Amino acid sequence: MTKSEKITNQTNQLTKRGIIVLVCVGLACGLLSGLFGIGGGTIIVPALVWLGLSQRHAAATSLAAIVPTSISGVVSYALEGNVNWLAAALLAIGVIAGSQLGSLLLNRLPEVVLRWVWVVFLIFVIFQQLSFTPPRDGHLELHFWSGVFLMLLGVVVGAIAGVLGIGGGAIMMPALSLLFGASDLMARGTSLLVMFPGAISGTVANWKRGIVHLKSGLIIGCCAIVTAPLGTMIAGWISPREGSVLFALWLAFLAVRSTWTAIKATKRSRAESAD
């Protein structure tokens, strides 16, 4: 039995401890999804790796969990009028195309490379969150060229999201504010809407390649639905700057832990190569 088959067998036979962890991850994921306009992959992927999945399987399963999570979050934002449907449609066109490329790369890149790409991504988003504060009263204006750039942004987001197992909100949300002038709430709601088709497209591709653990993904996603509306409420209560700092602190914690696991994985890979 290969290592991948062992992991699949362990995941399909979840222990009570494993289920409790997945439920807690789902509840936290929903809260942060509504609060920051993200899919929750920054929580899901490390948790699944901790439970024993490879970075590759964790990323693929995370993308599946983001499907129900994004639905709940976008409904909460849409009820407050904080979703730009046209911008989301343009982004989604690019994301669907990019997610196919991301799924292909996820299946081919070495495990160690995936871990270091994850660390670099976290550091990039931390820097972005601390250096830029989105406006609360911004307005997203669309014209021909902004529509073209939205689709190109979608391709980039979809590819990165497919490789890392994230929804892409950590990229879309700041980009919509910084490049297109959207308010922080509008950027979060719109990015959540875009995650839905992108996550479905990437999950289908990953499912065909046999790297998705659907049971774990569904447990996380269904639990996230419960707390996403609460996260949306909190996002409206705090200032944009407070939201950015809180998100950066959370990512800094993950970056430290992920760097440590990436270093260990690199040492293990070198030792195996030497043998």
Confidence bin at 8 (pLDDT 50/70/90): very low
Amino acid, res. 38: I
Amino acid, res. 154: G
CA distance 236 to 140: 18
Q: Is residue 85 part of a domain?
A: yes
Instruction: Give the count of domains, the chain.
Output: 1
Q: Is residue 2 part of a domain?
A: no
Q: Is residue 33 part of a domain?
A: yes
Give the range of the structural domain holding residue 30, as residue numbers without chain letter. 16-272
Q: Is residue 38 part of a domain?
A: yes
Distances (CA, A) of 142 to 62, 135, 149, 193, 194: 32, 18, 10, 17, 16
Confidence bin at 275 (pLDDT 50/70/90): low
Q: 183 or 5: whose pLDDT is higher?
A: 183
Q: Is residue 3 part of a domain?
A: no
Q: Is residue 1 part of a domain?
A: no
Identify the pLDDT of residue 250.
Answer: 77
What would the mean pLDDT of 254-270 be, rounded to a whole number? 83
What is the SS3 assignment for 37?
A: coil
CA distance 206 to 106: 9
What would the mean pLDDT of 141-145 be, rounded to a whole number? 81
Angle at Cα 23 formed by Cα 64 and Cα 265, nearest 5°?
65
pLDDT > 70 fraction of the chain, expressed in percent and rounded: 92
Confidence bin at 206 (pLDDT 50/70/90): confident
Q: Is residue 253 part of a domain?
A: yes
Distances (CA, A) of 191 to 70, 98, 184: 9, 15, 11
- Most confidently modeled range among 32-46, 62-76, 86-100, 195-209: 86-100
Please determine, for residue 3, whether its predicted confidence score (pLDDT) is greater than 70. no
What would the mean pLDDT of 29-43 be, rounded to a whole number? 79
Q: Is residue 34 part of a domain?
A: yes
CA distance 188 to 82: 8
CA distance 171 to 132: 13
Q: Is the full-model pTM beyond 0.75?
A: no
CA distance 62 to 216: 9
Identify the pLDDT of residue 262.
Answer: 84
Q: Exposure string (b/e) for 182-214, b if CB count within 10 Å is 16 or more? A: bbbbbbbbbbbbbbbbbbbbbbebbeeeebbbe
